[in-house]
Amino acid sequence: MPNVSERARTLASTHESGRVVVLPTVWDVWSARLAVDAGFEGITIGSHPVADAIGSADGENMDFSEYLAVVKRIVDAVEVPVSADVESGYGLVPDELIGRLLEVGAVGANIEDVVHSEGKRVRDRAEHADYIGAARRAADEAEIPFVINGRTDAVKLGTDVFSDPLAEAAERLRLMEQAGARSVYPVGLTTADEVTRLVEAVSVPVNVTAHPVDGHGAGNLAALTALGVRRVSFGPLWQKWLAALSSAQLASWSSNG
């Protein structure tokens, strides 16, 4: 069993270091070991790629116990800290959510503000910050410096939901930081201006999603670093890139190629 406290301290200190950390988004033991062998100092598990890998669908459609079994296999297979995407919490109260993650050895989690199990209801600012805060207290009571990556979909949801999505995202990030998030994750950013504005809104690391080959709309890793980004993950993009590449190569071997 991995030393959860030690891994949590490692991940937390990485986030506090001021340097950029890239956490490849993995979905099974194979992809996790591939990322670690490539030299990454930590990994994050994505609900979307895991759901695709086990024949389910993203949006809290997986059985949470089945998902945690995947998380545990990955945690046990590597020697680096592992964070897990838990969407909006799978209907669990924060104490139970954090407890179950710690039981399988995860030392960080993405927690988002869209509640898929309730018709994709969007938590209001205070409600989501309160959930993050309760999760922070649960981890602190367990004496684990757990890294909560507070996610908001405000920019992704756009003007259909918010009159000023970027301003809404900035306020949500500030509230999540105040509640105890050690990093924040505004998904849907596509430009350098968007990145800059949200980096300036908080003092904790801002996570952006990048493509492992094509980078981000704001540029490559060097450009993102210059803009102040301090955490990068791949979401489902690494798995999707591998799928597209494999499909193209395999087609020449099939009877329909």
pLDDT at 257: 54
pLDDT tens-digit readout, 200-218: 999 999 999 999 999 999 9
Distance from C-alpha of 42 to C-alpha of 56, rounded to nearest angstrom: 25
Residue ranges in the chain modelled with pLDDT below 50: none
Closest CA to 155 of 114, 196, 191, 188: 188
Distance from C-alpha of 61 to C-alpha of 66, rounded to nearest angstrom: 11
pLDDT at 1: 66
Q: What are phi and psi of 210, to 5 degrees?
A: -125, 160
Q: What are phi and psi of 58, to 5 degrees?
A: -70, 165
Please give the domain boundaries of the chain with CATH numbers for all domains. Answer: 4-251 (3.20.20.60)
Those residues with Cβ within 8 angstroms of residue 91's Cβ, 6 or more apart along the chain or in another chain: 60, 117
Those residues with Cβ within 8 angstroms of residue 17's Cβ, 6 or more apart along the chain or in another chain: none
pTM of the model: 0.96
